[in-house]
Amino acid sequence: MRYVMKQKLFALTDRYAIRDEAGRELFWVDGKIFSLGHKLSFRNPAGEELAYIAQKLLSWGPTYEIYRGGDLAAVVKKVLFTFFSCRFTIDVPGPDDLEAAGDFLDHEYGFRRADGRAAATVSKQWFAWTDTYGVDIAAGEDDVLILAATVVIDLVCHDRKNA
């Protein structure tokens, strides 16, 4: 499935709208205003929380945890000491871990399973006022988890508040 994820321009917190190809809003992500580290709620249009993203403050390198229904669903960690590109590990319970690897300018990412299967591709739009991404997720993948990991990648690589 293809999605368009767009960060809101005039917001006090990190805020994203996620739409399908037809422009229908399927999800939105909203950050907490007064918190230590990033804390974001991933919701459907009815307002139900589908995932919760929390930055781990005391860790070696940028690390985020994604919770679903109160249970830890994944740990997204930036791989330190990579040359010319960013890489992230997405550690999920069980054997289906993911890795996201970016290009030189951090505008193109590929999500791959541990066995090498492509899970998703992410493309950042050039010359846009806000961070806007096209996210193409392979059939059978966990769309919410991959979209939440894409939010984390944007926070780590393109967050102007941390620059």
What secondary structure, in 3-state letters, does 98-122 show? EEEEECCCCCEEEEEECCCCEEEEE
* pLDDT value, residue 163: 38
Tell me the C-alpha distance between 20 and 89, whole Å: 26
* pLDDT value, residue 130: 65
Other Cβ atoms less than 10 A from the Cβ of 7: the count is: 22
* pLDDT value, residue 162: 44
* pLDDT value, residue 138: 97
* pLDDT value, residue 15: 82
- Enumerate domains of the chain plus CATH numbers: 2-158 (2.40.160.200)
Intervals of the chain under pLDDT 50:
161-163
